């Protein structure tokens, strides 16, 4: 059903309900009323309404018009509800009854808008109504064109709901005032036309003392407005008198008509407030005064009233008073050609003559068009001199996309008229509001209104009227104001172009604007200035060389203490909050807000800028200039995985440490974890962050001990710094904090060597750290204490190497015990010391863990990561180990030694590293280490432990003897075995191949559990032999079909 049909159906339903509920004759009259009431309402306005709504509204108005009461107009403003009114609405209802006359709706709707209300529905039927002598409704005609009864105007409005009584009273009184003004203007309109005719006759009888041609033009103008080009709304006559030496405009008694009738004023208050020089113009022998009133019309449209004053002269040619007409020029006056409007045609002709263009020339035609399109209200008020100056200025502007301002001050000091031209493509509401703010400030304005002309011209024209307190005279410079408006009108992109050229020159600036100019989103342009954008572009230009990321920590001038801003620039997609927030919070700041921007680039992928609002809790002013670089470097290292993301990073801000200094403390903290220190990692991190001054002193002590370029007496400086630290520790109240900080102090003093100052071949500092400790000086170290201990630390790997003496030998294992690999190695070194007693003086043992393993299941990736971490581990060991060159000890470069010569370091294969010997020897060759391929036993240049099975063969002889003593021959009789290990191992793998009679019923390693309750010795031997030869095998490679019933292979991670 279309909306028109729906409307007809609704009206029919309302009529049917009325006929059902109301008595006969009254029902028929009401039915005709309903049909008339809704006849001209837009169907869309009724589409969403129910029969109950329409029935209630129309019947309410029907009852409202039954009796006129005190006469017309009749007005009601209320909020209907069912208990009181029998119907309800979500809006405030306005009901009006008035005899039909012009301007009713035109005047009422602006008053509703003036009071800040939204109009939701308006119904305005005009009906022919029959009433008795008591103004009681008798009947409503079916149409309006009969002769019986009178035409009455009914208006129903629904506006935003207002519940409080003062607001409803204000709406009622405002509408009542408007209706009163409409009635006054309409009723007195014939009388005002008569007064205008009388004025014309008076001019003919007593011409004013001015040029006859001027008088003729003025008279033509008055006749023109009388010919329906001016809506007369008010008239009053004034007498010009002198009181106490001052001119006074006195109201002629009973002369007021229309909106000026009645009133108690005896003199013109507006005239009295004019400056003396302006009041003196009342005596000038000029017939007409054209101006804008300082009051808005309440009738027809809410524009400022046009004021036409006709001076009255006596026989001596002296001004004795004024005929004042108030009203509004009609729409025909605004659309008529200037050649048809007296006064304006004369003014325009004089401007054309003064311009001196040849007839029909381009200049003449352009000027004629310009004047024809000039704001018509301005043409009525502007004088010829200023019109000429302004018109020529506009003409010279042409189509150039420049901002120009032309200012005209109202002769009576009530407003400034500002004609503004701006490039059309830059004009929008925001720009208009900004320009209005500039002019309101410059002229101390109290209100403003505007009109805009957008045409095919390249320029938009804005006429802005700035109303000022009457008589105010602010000083202003048009050119300076114009410059401010031009700056306001400049697009953000324009300012960026200039800023880029100023920053990096014309050629590079133009290149960058081509690349970035159109890529900044509106949100960025609204919040970021062009100078900041230039800096952002500089950083975005570095992304290709910086791994696709750059950062910027900064402070806004307007931000409160404790506030910071931080930007991330990323060319590989948006940065998720889950990635960035933990990093920032671990650096000691809270993230308050985040604004992302996607910056498009003409010839490259877009860049995402994430602007974070941060807060910190540091006391005092943050030295942003010094900390900014430290913060940048640390964040980027964390982002790239070169620094761990934990609360040690708070030390960048709280202690002013760089990321490498923080890494030293983190490494010591990790070592504490491995030696079983009492306090948790998080508690240790919180403690060091709570004592920044002591932490800085600890780092200074570390640098005094190990900086190879330290000047002065190192021992004296160290002693002094230790004393300072101990004094500061005495002031620490919390005993746990004291223990933690003293442990750090002890570790630094127990450190004999470090690679902290060593550089690789590219002259970059090492990305990993290694410390050589004197275990006897480390408090709380578990027994037995080796002679030397080296700890290697990086985000990818941690490793430990324990040596029982200067000359010691032992293997390095790939450990899987992340939390306590040192405990594992310490247990192994005890056995190694005993085992080596008959071979070399003592034993050693090492182990490392990989901290960032690849996803499970990718065995090749895991091996690659294991080898890379093993290499880092070996580099860490050799970085701080002496070398022998030509038989003489050669200390490592940039390593300060606090121990004696120590050049003996050998390694061997162990769990997980059986095939890594060649890798180890290759690392040794990088250093030119004196042992060369003897650094690691085995490999291609030595014995292959797994191939030769030396350890397993020796152990198997012991097994054979043990079983022989039990009366069992392992080489000819079957026997069961339960083992620890897998077939990829050197000892276990070779051991399980020493006899074809082994019945392996169970085994486990760190990955799997293997069970075979009833194995076939020969079949299982062949399968073990197969997976022994399989590179990097595990129990998962065992063929499950060969396992007896009830057996299988299960991962250690399985819960059941």
Q: Please give the DSSP secondary-structure letter assigned to residue 67.
A: B
Would you state the pLDDT for residue 709?
Answer: 95
pLDDT digits (tens, 9 = 90+) for 867-909: 999 999 999 999 999 999 999 999 999 999 999 999 999 998 8
CB-based contact 1038:1021 (threshold 8 Å): no
What is the mean predicted confidence (pLDDT) over 254-260? 94
Alpha-carbon span 446 to 474, nearest angstrom: 13
- Sequence-ordered list of residues with C-beta below 8 angstroms from that of 436, at least 6 positions apart, any chain: 448, 450, 464
Q: Does residue 942 register a pLDDT over 70?
A: no
Alpha-carbon span 788 to 803, nearest angstrom: 5
The beta-strand segments (E) located in 997-1040 are 998-1004, 1008-1011
Q: Please give the DSSP secondary-structure letter assigned to residue 338.
A: G
Would you state the pLDDT for residue 619?
Answer: 80
Spatial CA neighbour of 920 closest among 812, 824, 847: 812
User: b or e along 60-70 (b: 16 or more beta carbons within 10 Å of the residue's beta carbon)?
Assistant: bbbebbeebee
Alpha-carbon span 982 to 1008, nearest angstrom: 9
pLDDT digits (tens, 9 = 90+) for 818-834: 999 999 999 999 988 88
pLDDT digits (tens, 9 = 90+) for 680-735: 999 999 999 999 999 999 999 999 999 999 999 999 999 999 999 999 999 999 99
The torsion of the CA quartet 773, 778, 781, 787, rounded to 10 degrees, works out to: 40
Alpha-carbon span 133 to 116, nearest angstrom: 41
pLDDT digits (tens, 9 = 90+) for 99-146: 999 999 999 999 999 999 999 999 999 999 999 988 999 988 887 787
Tokens coding 655: 């202690």
pLDDT above 70 covers what percent of the chain?
99
Alpha-carbon span 268 to 271, nearest angstrom: 5
Q: pLDDT band at residue 558, thresholds of 50, 70 and 90?
A: confident
Tokens coding 1054: 């399985």
CB-based contact 294:269 (threshold 8 Å): no
What is the mean predicted confidence (pLDDT) over 16-42? 90
Say if strands 842-850 and 812-814 run parallel, antiparallel, or are unpaired.
parallel
What is the mean predicted confidence (pLDDT) over 614-624? 86
Q: How many CB atoms lie within 10 A of CB 911?
A: 22
End-to-end, the C-alpha distance of the chain in Å comes to 68
What is the mean predicted confidence (pLDDT) over 260-282? 82
Would you state the pLDDT for residue 721?
Answer: 97
Q: Which residues pair with 328 in a beta bridge?
A: 231
Q: Does residue 476 register a pLDDT over 70?
A: yes
- Kind plus residue range of the DSSP H or E element containing 756: none
Q: Does residue 927 register a pLDDT over 80?
A: yes
Q: Does residue 1 register a pLDDT over 70?
A: no
Tokens coding 149: 């009864």
Q: Which of 131-135, 405-409, 568-572 has the lowest mean pLDDT?
A: 131-135
Q: Does residue 794 register a pLDDT over 90?
A: yes
Spatial CA neighbour of 266 closest among 291, 236, 292: 236
Of residues 872 and 622, more confidence is placed in 872
Tokens coding 497: 């172009």
**Which position among 845, 946, 1045, 1055 bears the catalytic label?**
845
Q: Does residue 987 register a pLDDT over 90?
A: no
CA angle 386, 392, 396 (to 5 degrees): 145
Q: Does residue 965 register a pLDDT over 70?
A: yes
- Computed over every residue of the chain, the mean pLDDT equals 93
Of residues 632 and 620, more confidence is placed in 632
Tokens coding 104: 């009713």
Would you state the pLDDT for residue 817?
Answer: 92
- Identify whether 347 is a catalytic site residue: no
- pTM for this model (two decimals): 0.66
What is the mean predicted confidence (pLDDT) over 160-184? 95
Q: Does residue 911 register a pLDDT over 80?
A: yes
Q: Does residue 552 register a pLDDT over 70?
A: yes
Would you state the pLDDT for residue 622?
Answer: 82
Q: Does residue 838 register a pLDDT over 80?
A: no
Would you state the pLDDT for residue 98?
Answer: 94
Q: Please give the DSSP secondary-structure letter assigned to residue 230.
A: E
CB-based contact 914:946 (threshold 8 Å): yes
Longest dimension (CA), the chain: 160
Alpha-carbon span 439 to 444, nearest angstrom: 8
Alpha-carbon span 605 to 1018, nearest angstrom: 63
Backbone angles phi, psi at 278, to 5 degrees: -80, -40
pLDDT above 90 covers what percent of the chain?
79
Tokens coding 958: 């012991």
Alpha-carbon span 887 to 895, nearest angstrom: 20
Tokens coding 860: 């090749």
Could you tell me the strand order of the sheet in which 1048-1051 lies? 975-980, 998-1004, 1008-1011, 1048-1051
Residue keyed to tokens 């061997």: 908
User: b or e along 956-980 (b: 16 or more beta carbons within 10 Å of the residue's beta carbon)?
Assistant: beebbeebeeeeeebeeeeeebebe
Q: How many CB atoms lie within 10 A of CB 187?
A: 13
CB-based contact 665:744 (threshold 8 Å): yes
Tokens coding 490: 């400049």
Q: pLDDT band at residue 617, thresholds of 50, 70 and 90?
A: confident
């Amino acid at each position: 059903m279309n909306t028109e049909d729906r409307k007809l159906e609704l009206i029919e339903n309302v009529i049917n309900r009325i006929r059902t509920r109301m008595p006969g004759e009254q029902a028929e009259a009401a039915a005709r009323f309903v049909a008339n009431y809704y006849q001209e309402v837009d169907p869309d306005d009724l589409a969403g309404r129910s029969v109950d709504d329409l029935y209630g509204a129309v019947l309410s108005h029907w009852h409202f018009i039954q009796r006129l009461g005190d006469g017309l107009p009749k007005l009601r403003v209320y909020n209907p509800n069912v208990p009181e009114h029998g119907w309800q609405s979500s809006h405030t209802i306005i009901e009006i009854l008035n005899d039909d006359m012009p301007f009713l709706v035109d005047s009422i709707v602006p008053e509703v808008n003036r009071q800040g209300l939204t109009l939701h529905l308006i119904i305005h039927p005009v009906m022919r109504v029959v009433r008795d002598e008591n103004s009681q409704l008798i009947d409503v005609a079916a149409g309006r064109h009969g002769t019986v009864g009178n035409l009455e105007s009914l208006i129903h409005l629904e506006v935003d709901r207002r519940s409080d009584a003062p607001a409803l009273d204000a709406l009622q009184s405002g509408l009542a005032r408007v209706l009163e003004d409409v009635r006054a203007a309409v009723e007195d309109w014939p009388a005002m036309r008569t007064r205008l005719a009388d004025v014309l006759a008076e001019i003919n009888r007593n011409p004013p003392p001015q040029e006859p041609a001027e008088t003729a033009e003025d008279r033509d103008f008055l006749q023109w407005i009388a010919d329906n080009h001016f809506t007369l709304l008010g008239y009053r006559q004034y007498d010009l008198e002198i009181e106490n030496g001052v001119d006074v405009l006195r109201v002629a008694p009973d002369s007021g008509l229309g909106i000026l009738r009645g009133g108690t004023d005896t003199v013109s208050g507006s005239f009295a407030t004019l400056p003396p020089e302006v009041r003196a113009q009342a005596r000038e022998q000029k017939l007409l005064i054209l101006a804008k009133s300082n009051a808005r019309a309440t009738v027809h449209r809410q524009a400022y009233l046009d004021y036409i004053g006709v001076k009255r002269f006596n026989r001596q040619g002296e001004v004795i008073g004024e005929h004042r007409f108030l009203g509004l020029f009609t729409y025909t006056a605004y659309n008529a050609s200037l050649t048809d409007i007296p006064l304006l045609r004369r003014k325009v002709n004089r401007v054309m003559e003064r311009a001196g263009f040849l007839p029909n020339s381009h200049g003449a035609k352009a000027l004629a068009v310009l004047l024809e399109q000039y704001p018509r209200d301005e043409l009525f008020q502007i004088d010829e001199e200023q019109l000429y100056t302004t018109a020529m200025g506009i003409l010279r502007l042409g189509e150039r996309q420049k901002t120009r301002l032309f200012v005209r001050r109202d002769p009576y000091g009530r407003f400034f008229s500002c004609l503004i031209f701006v490039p059309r493509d830059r004009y929008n509401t925001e720009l208009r509001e900004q320009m209005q703010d500039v002019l309101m400030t410059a002229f101390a304005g109290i209100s403003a209104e505007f009109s805009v002309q957008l045409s095919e011209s390249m320029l938009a024209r804005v006429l802005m009227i700035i109303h000022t307190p009457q008589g105010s005279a602010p000083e202003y410079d048009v050119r300076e104001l114009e410059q401010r408006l031009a700056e306001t009108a400049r697009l953000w992109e324009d300012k960026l172009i200039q800023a880029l050229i100023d920053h990096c020159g014309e050629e590079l600036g133009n290149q960058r604007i081509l690349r970035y100019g159109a890529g900044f989103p509106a949100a960025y342009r609204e919040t970021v200035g062009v100078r900041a954008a230039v800096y952002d572009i500089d950083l975005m230009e570095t992304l290709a060389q910086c791994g696709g990321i750059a950062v910027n920590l900064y402070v806004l001038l307007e931000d409160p203490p404790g506030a910071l801003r931080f930007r991330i620039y990323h060319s590989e997609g948006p940065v998720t909050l889950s990635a960035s927030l933990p990093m920032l919070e671990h650096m000691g700041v809270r993230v308050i807000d985040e604004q992302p921007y996607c910056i498009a680039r003409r010839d490259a992928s877009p860049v995402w800028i994430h602007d974070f609002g941060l807060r910190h809790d540091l006391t005092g002013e943050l030295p942003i200039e010094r900390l900014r670089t430290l913060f940048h470097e640390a964040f980027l290292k964390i982002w790239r995985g070169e620094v761990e993301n934990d609360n040690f990073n708070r030390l960048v801000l709280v202690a002013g440490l760089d990321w490498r200094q923080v890494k030293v403390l983190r490494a010591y903290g990790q070592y504490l974890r491995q030696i079983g220190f009492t306090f948790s990692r998080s508690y240790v991190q919180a403690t060091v962050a709570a004592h920044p001054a002591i932490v800085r002193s600890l780092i200074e002590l570390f640098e005094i001990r190990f900086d190879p370029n330290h000047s002065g007496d190192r021992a004296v400086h160290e002693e002094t710094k230790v004393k300072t630290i101990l004094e500061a520790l005495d002031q620490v109240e919390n005993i746990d904090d004291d223990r933690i900080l003293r442990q750090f102090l002890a570790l630094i003093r127990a450190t004999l060597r470090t690679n902290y100052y060593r550089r690789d071949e590219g002259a970059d500092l090492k990305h990993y750290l290694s410390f050589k400790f004197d275990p006897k000086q480390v408090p709380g170290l578990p027994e037995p204490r080796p002679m030397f201990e080296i700890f290697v630390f990086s985000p990818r790997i941690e490793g430990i190497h324990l040596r029982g003496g200067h000359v010691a030998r032992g293997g390095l294992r790939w450990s899987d015990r992340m939390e306590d690999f040192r405990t594992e190695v310490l247990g192994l070194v005890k056995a190694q010391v005993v085992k080596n007693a008959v071979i070399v003086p003592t034993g050693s043992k090492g182990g490392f863990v990989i901290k960032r393993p690849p996803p499970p299941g990718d065995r090749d990736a895991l091996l690659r990561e294991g080898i890379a971490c093993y290499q880092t581990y070996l580099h860490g060991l050799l970085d701080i180990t002496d070398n022998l060159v030509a038989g003489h000890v050669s200390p490592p470069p940039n390593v300060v030694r606090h121990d004696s010569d120590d050049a003996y370091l050998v390694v061997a294969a162990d769990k997980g590293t059986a095939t890594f010997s060649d890798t180890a020897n290759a690392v040794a060759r990088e250093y030119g280490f004196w042992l060369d391929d003897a650094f690691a036993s085995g490999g291609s240049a030595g014995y292959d432990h797994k191939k030769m099975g030396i350890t397993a063969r020796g152990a198997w002889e012991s097994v054979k003897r043990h079983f022989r003593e039990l009366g069992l021959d392992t080489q000819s009789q079957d026997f069961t075995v339960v083992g620890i290990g897998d077939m990829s191992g050197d000892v276990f793998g070779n051991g399980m191949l020493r006899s074809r009679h082994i019945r392996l019923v169970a085994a486990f390693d760190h990955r799997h559990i293997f069970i075979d309750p009833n194995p076939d010795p020969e079949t299982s031997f062949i399968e073990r032999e197969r997976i022994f030869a399989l590179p990097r095998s595990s129990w998962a490679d065992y063929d499950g079909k060969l396992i007896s019933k009830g057996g299988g292979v299960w991962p250690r991670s399985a819960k059941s």
